[in-house]
Structure 1
Amino acid sequence: MSVLLEATGLRKSFGPTDALAAASIRVVAGEVVALMGPSGAGKSTLLHCLAGIVRPDEGTVRYQGADLAGMGDRARSALRRTDFGFVFQFGQLVPELTCLENVALPLRLNGERGRVATSRAREMLAELDLTAIAGRRPGEVSGGQGQRAAVARALVTGPRVIFADEPTGALDSLNGEQVMGALTTAARERQAAVVLVTHEARVAAYSDREVVVRDGRTRELEVTR
């Protein structure tokens, strides 16, 4: 498969602290890549650079051959609404909206008509076995259900890459497995890549490849599945 997302020689500092030091990674369509390492190793900074949220001080990030640093803020923001999906540790669903409205929100922000957005969001919730919580607000559902709704929201636009930053960090083992199963299965069915930040081996076990991040540098880990 061709390379979908590639970072080369990334360096990023926050004040006197070097978060990344010559980090590099390649991601192809349909694969799940786990970024592993201790806290403060640079995993989340690398993910944010790959997603175009943070600009590296040095190095390049290319998505389908296009240099993200060469894009304007508006173009990168549009990319994050269409080609990129996001799942965070605490879901970050909008508390005032129902789960259905939360899942439909990215579509509405992209200019989709309300009826079409709601229909697609309902289908996405059904695919993840969440129809029963469609009309509930995030505070009225379990942590596992809310995080799976966040996965539905990340997938509803049909992204090419899904960035997941410790998506099971606030969940127990059972709910964590359900979230990872839903995320990886749905992504692979759509040939979407997943870039996953975690420090848990049981979560990394869902990946095709593991990349260790330590002291801002990357190293491919040989894994036999």
Structure 2
Amino acid sequence: MSTEPLLAATELFKAFGPTEALDRASLSVAAGETVAVMGPSGSGKSTLLHCAAGIMKPDAGSVRYDGRELTTLSDGERSELRRGEFGFVFQFGQLVPELTCLENVALPLRLGGMRRKLAEAEAEQWLETFDVVEAARKRPGDVSGGQGQRVAVARALVTTPRIIFADEPTGALDSLNGERVMQLLTRSARDSGAAIVLVTHEARVAAYADREVVVRDGRTQSGVVA
């Protein structure tokens, strides 16, 4: 059995003008592992996630996913990975406001070519799993923040991704809703065998991870969650 990590970002550099966001930052994630990326605001943790997920290209360094070098893939190839094998959860959900919650969850399947009826049937099952089926016909602006974030997690999981990238997924929620979202996210990922890269500045959220990577001034330091 191969011991190579599912995802390995190595010695990443990324600058925005004169500001260095990443300075030899590294991150590795094994299949099925949850890794918390922690650090103060402006430390580079979100930039590290975006580079690892192929959303942006680092200026230097390597990002390997399942044996492939992401930095050499075309924009189309990286987009295909993000549609099918990667799932995303952001702080404010980033649901499409013009679509219903059901249509939002079905959207990744529709973009992958699935017929509408089948995609929406699959999406409704995920809404039931996350106890937000009552929001199916509502638009994101008509549901609570906690409901909206559970819809966003359902959308991230609907394609059965191999890695979920979660950037401050509880940052806009109260503690009760935050705990519920984390419980549902980690349980569903564990059941499907998905890995999670979890960006957070909250210790209670990082406690759901198997391991921590701390980012300070664009550099990384690994640790193990107690």
With structure 1 as the length reference, what TM-score do the two structures score?
A: 0.97
Contact 2:162 2:193 in 1 (8 A): yes
| 1:120 matched residue in structure 2 | 122
Select 2:36's aligned residue among 31, 34, 37: 34
Counterpart of 1:3 in 2: which secondary structure?
Answer: coil
Displacement of 1:134: 1.1
Matched, 1:77 2:79: yes
Ranges in structure 2 where 5+ consecutive residues have no aligned partner = none
Counterpart of 1:91 in 2: which secondary structure?
Answer: coil
Moved over 6 A (4+): none
How many residues matched? 224
Displacement of 1:105: 0.6
Q: Which amino acid aligns with 1:136?
A: K
**Cα distance in structure 2, aligned partners of 1:134 and 1:215:** 42
Ranges in structure 1 where 5+ consecutive residues have no aligned partner = none
Counterpart of 2:96 in 1: which secondary structure?
Answer: coil
| 1:47 matched residue in structure 2 | 49
Displacement of 1:2: 4.3
Matched, 1:58 2:60: yes
Q: Which amino acid aligns with 2:94?
A: Q
Identity of aligned residues (%): 68
Select 1:103's aligned residue among 105, 113, 120: 105
| 1:214 matched residue in structure 2 | 216
| 1:162 matched residue in structure 2 | 164
Counterpart of 2:204 in 1: which secondary structure?
Answer: helix
Please provide the CA RMSD for this pair. Answer: 0.9
Counterpart of 2:41 in 1: which secondary structure?
Answer: coil
**Cα distance in structure 2, aligned partners of 1:108 and 1:163:** 20
Contact 2:207 2:225 in 1 (8 A): no
| 2:146 matched residue in structure 1 | 144
